[in-house]
Amino acid sequence: MTLSDALGRPLRDLRISITDRCNFRCTYCMPKEVFGRDYEFLRRAELLSFEEIARVARVFVGLGVEKLRLTGGEPLLRRDVERLVELLAGIDGLRDLTLTTNGALLARKAEALAGAGLQRLTVSLDSLDDGVFKAMNDVDFPVAQVLEGIDAAAAAGLAPVKVNMVVKRGVNEDSILAMAQRFRGTAHVVRFIEFMDVGTTNGWRLDHVVPAAEIVSRIDAELPLEPVEAGYRGEVARRWRYRDGGGEIGVIASVTQPFCGDCTRARLSAEGTLYTCLFGARGHDVRALVRGGGDDGELADAIAGIWRARSDRYSELRTGATARLPKVEMSYIGG
């Protein structure tokens, strides 16, 4: 079926956060001054169980969702995550099952994830320079272990890997070219992401944003690029390929080139709150529906009603004023 929102956008993608915990404290996502030792994360009983997640996912697929992405927090911190992957991989009609990770636990988990039915992976890596990367993850985690995880994923059959780099002015923009050079020719695809005003704890300012045009220009000056057509409606990354055939990169430009008009994504938090926008302030309690005794038809009707009423287009409306409005945190909703 085709389920469309108030602006005619279909529901095609569901991002599922399976934990609000993370072993990194990236300054643009979970800064230590907010997520310190005393921060209270969700209790286990508050989290959706794997069976509950699978039930909700089946309902979403029945409503037209074709792609599921597991996120966090850091999803590989959730115990026995491969069991959830196996449950989701068995859903009839699902075309794409993927996961986003910081890579810290990937070397030990990649084979089990692939065996359970995971199809693809995205790994976050903000620099190849250890000093810069450690400053950004703020837990002294080295680049080499993330690269080891990417290699393990490729060996397990999860290649090509997408490698996400959040670019922040004055912090890691000097790492852009090195990242492009490192993964060029490997089949892995680096996606450069403009620093966004997700949540309210990362100190976002417009002058911290390195525009997509500048990112592309920096790379093109050394490694000539040409644009590539989008692969499907709702693809968030603008695609560019190396003119010499060395592969491609992507640029996600939510700030300077908003793509709200083709956004097909819903997001489910770890305790079952449904958000219809990455920059949403208010969600919808799906856990209460799941645990309230209703059947799948009632759950589907409720979700369909939420989507049909959706009119979010935050990035198209973004101003200095909207950037300061309360928003759900990146670590909670999973990006």
The number of helix segments (H) and strand segments (E) in the chain equals 11, 12
Q: Which two tokens stand for residue 331?
A: 């670590």
Contacts for 210 with CB less than 8 Å, ≥ 6 apart = 167, 168, 169, 173, 176, 194, 195
Record the pTM.
0.93
Residue 249 and residue 242: Cα distance in Å, rounded? 8
- 255 versus 159: which is more confidently predicted? 159
Contacts for 197 with CB less than 8 Å, ≥ 6 apart = 204, 255, 279, 318, 323, 327
Amino acid type, 102: N
Residue 24 and residue 32: Cα distance in Å, rounded? 9
Q: Does the pLDDT of residue 18 top 90, yes or no?
A: yes
13-333: what fold?
TIM Barrel (3.20.20)
Q: Does the pLDDT of residue 330 top 80, yes or no?
A: no
Strands 189-194, 162-167: parallel, antiparallel or unpaired by DSSP?
A: parallel
Contacts for 20 with CB less than 8 Å, ≥ 6 apart = 41, 42, 72, 73, 269, 270, 271, 331, 332
Residue 335 and residue 330: Cα distance in Å, rounded? 5
Per-residue pLDDT tens over the stretch 103-156 = 999 999 999 999 999 999 999 999 999 999 999 999 999 999 999 999 999 999
Contacts for 300 with CB less than 8 Å, ≥ 6 apart = 59, 62, 63
Residue 40 burial (CB count, 10 A): 5
Q: Mean pLDDT of all residues in the chain?
A: 91
Determine whether 52 is exposed, middle or buried from the number of CB atoms within 10 Å of its CB (0-12, 13-18, 19+): middle
Q: What is the pLDDT of residue 208?
A: 85
Per-residue pLDDT tens over the stretch 214-265 = 999 999 999 999 999 887 776 788 999 999 999 999 999 888 887 788 899 9
Residue 53 and residue 240: Cα distance in Å, rounded? 35
Residue 175 and residue 133: Cα distance in Å, rounded? 10
Amino acid type, 210: V
Q: Domains of the chain: which residue ranges?
A: 13-333
- 233 versus 93: which is more confidently predicted? 93
Q: How far is CA 259 from CA 69, 169, 227, 253, in A?
A: 19, 22, 17, 8
- Give SS3 for 193: strand
Q: Does the pLDDT of residue 1 top 90, yes or no?
A: no
